[in-house]
Structure 1
């Protein structure tokens, strides 16, 4: 029995020794014992490190020396032991003192130690130094306080929080100033009350929160309401706020009143529109000035020739030369109109394979007359050059325009070089030109050239360096429009004092040049069809209608005239149906295309011709409609009649 008790005692002593070694080895916690009076009875390495006392210095001393003067005066040490004795444990955080007098923030646990009979033996005290955590918490609190002060102090922005359902949970001074609500009036209310009735009907508040929740942010501008019902233009940002585990906590909402900025932008937009309108009117003035000058010259030739022809006709004299002069003037007017259409890219191009060297050769006499004797033209072409795809008439006009410009750049005379070569083009090599093979037709002068600013404006509509009345500023824009419509580009290369090179990049035709077409016969169509046609001619311009009718009657046909689409439909309803209808496109109330659509719905099999000066037709128009470009000659009218009737009878 004594042996067993001895062994048990030895075992207990061994276990106690192990616990003591464990406690003494702990350095992160001060672990020590107090007797029932609060005096220190044990002291581990952690207590020495945290408190600063050695074991010999602190054993037998009262633990109250670790408390601040204020806590000792308040009886905190005694209250802590009394609580531990009464409740078994005391736990708290507070300031404690080291040996050197420095304070540290301590987490303290005091447990009452009792024997098996319940008698109090003393207290076990564990203290942990939480100064760093306390400092971090204090810093966080200070930062949060500063942030709250900052947010509350901002008056230019409404900054407030919403809960996940959209109720307002905080309200800064900026929100109060902009929205007009006091915090107690708005906190707990749904933020949708700031939206207009239209936006609420469109469910915009919910959509905004859904977007912010899904994408992290919602941003938009729109009308919002103040407390007094007035509207303001707001820039709104809503950010979703989530916890560390990703759960939605709420939303941070920032609203700025940008009404004044919007008004300023609207004023700027109005000013820009007024400026654009002024610039447009200036451009129209330049256009009308230049065109009026050219047209007055043409009308002078036409009216003057016809006036003298009328007098000669009354006296029985020959008028052929005067009539020819009037016709030439009218043709020049038509060419000027084509320049305008080319500038707007609305002329009706007839693209075909063009032998460029041959075209230049045939223009030689015209070019030389245009530039005068002081300037020489030199041409360079390879022996073999593929045909280019272009409208030969428009290409001649463009080339003549470039040569005249080159002449004007060399008032003292010189040489103009006209060259052409085949050039492969990679994507991006030439601006606005797709990759492929092209013919590059160049006009090179030895003139004064252009500075960078002039070069940038050279192809701008109405821009001209020539004097008043000497140019419309449509020459290069016309060339540019022709190139763009035919799949090519105009490229200008120039430097001040180094001359100018104008390049026309033309697509290569897939087939060779067409054979020259035989001269059109002016004989009446009745000879080809063996019968006289009844033609319904429709045009809202009385002079044009009369001229069309006279040409048709001269070709041997019977003509019924109508000055509107409505009148044409009335004629079709009461009279025998005509063999063919020729109608203008641009007419008020009912266009030519609309008229032909109604004719197709009510009558079948009537051939139609649409007379227009534009290449484009309205959306939905039949692309197979036979078109006749205005102004047209009697020969062109005869050919259009013949081909249309042939197609209808085939």
Structure 2
């Protein structure tokens, strides 16, 4: 700028010097005029030159001031930028450097690690000084590097601005880690690639948990589909079927598509739906519920009995119920048939026992009435014969005959006593004449007299009114229990008690014998125990045995004091 101004000034000055005098000469006509015009010319040149110099100086100073201002601003801006950059870097290091759950690091344009935070050290195991400056390919498996995976990620980030991927990376110790990575390309303001930033999350445990969940779901899906029992899932809000297995399709006759357009109410008889809704309202929040027995209806209208087990769950994010169904129609029918057969058997047993008691009574009466009279006649004949022998003159013959008659009378007395015993065993007379309490007391006394086993009794002080069939059954059970003590227990003492509890007779027979093993109670040849149990059950009673080896045996029987006609 200064050179241009000087050149212009030289040109103008030269032109002024060359042509100003010629012009003045043309104008001036005398010497005075010439002198005046020359003075004016010189003054004008000085003024113009001064003005030009002033203008040039002002422009120069202005330019210098502008340059200084711009320089100062540039220096200030540069210092501010550096300070801002420093603050930004400090913030980056403070925020990113302390992140532990994510690896955040910078790569240069060539893919070399430029920064390394605490999260990256925790996930990959490398310290910053060990990896900064290294190609980030070091974090990939050899197979991935051979396939060009690392560079492919950078190319994708460069082309699209950001790339997201899940891959297996390598730690410092050689172990593998499953990661989710976001790679972003970084550009300068002029568009120049400056490098990349990668944010890496360790999803190893999440992936393992997800894989385990998928495996579990597949396993339970298999158990659901392959279960031989019908199963389904229904939504809790509207009771609509959400899934059914093949066993449900086969058992109920509906197709899967038909099931999914139905609710669980549709497979219930109309009269059972209200009860089902009530059970739903009363159900608690427990995960597993034993719903119990319900009635279902198949597609062909058949009513079946089912046992339901329900399990609360979420299906598709909604509260639902997983249901396992067991068809117990045949089982219940078999149980009903068994109960009917058992009832018939008890009725038959009761009838047989009653018939046996009646037959025993009849035989005892006939023996008593017939043989008793015959025994009396024989005894009278023997007495008469003894009187006639007294007239025999031969002393030896008379003595012999009298001895034979005496022996015959003793034998006849033994036969009579034996007959009486048989009659008592067939039907104790005391039971009919005095009652149950006296009958048990008599039987205890007989057992002690015959077998030498001490029998302690705890009986009511007076007779208790009872149905004849009940008193006979109680007496026979007590009689059989005492015989078992004699035959099997090896006891020296037995305790017998009879009481009235809540409208029932309670009989207890306990001994101090060798006791019984649990398996001995169920032996098929234990006819004594079986007979006592059947007598009690036939009258609607209970039968219990408490025993262990070396601790004796205690038998407890409870029988209602009266029986209905149906039990007879």
TM-score, scaled relative to structure 1: 0.44
TM-score, scaled relative to structure 2: 0.50
Q: In proportion to residue count, which structure has more helix? A: 2
